[in-house]
C-alpha cells in the first residue's frame, strides 16, 4: 500500500536538511578561523564571563 507524502513530512525533511547543512557550513567556518590563530578548536560563545563560560561548555 503506497504511503502518501504529507506536507508536514516535506517541511520536516527540509528543516532537518537545512539544520544539518548550516551546522556543517558554520562548523567548517569556525575551524578555518581557529586554524588562522593556530588553535585546535573554537568557542561557540566566547567565555568572557562565568555565565558565558557555562553556556560555552554546555554547547
Q: Cell match 588553535: residue? A: 39
Which residues make Cβ contacts (< 8 Å) with residue 52, sequence separation at least 6? 45, 46
- 1-57 pLDDT, tens per residue? 557 778 889 999 999 999 999 999 988 988 888 888 887 777 767 778 888 888 877
Q: Record the pTM.
A: 0.59
CA atoms within 13 A on the CB side of 7: 0
Amino acid at each position: 500500500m503506497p504511503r502518501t507524502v504529507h506536507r508536514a513530512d516535506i517541511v520536516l525533511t527540509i528543516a532537518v536538511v537545512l539544520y544539518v547543512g548550516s551546522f556543517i557550513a558554520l562548523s567548517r567556518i569556525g575551524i578555518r578561523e581557529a586554524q588562522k590563530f593556530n588553535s585546535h578548536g573554537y568557542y561557540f560563545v566566547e567565555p568572557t564571563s562565568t555565565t558565558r563560560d557555562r553556556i560555552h561548555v554546555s554547547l
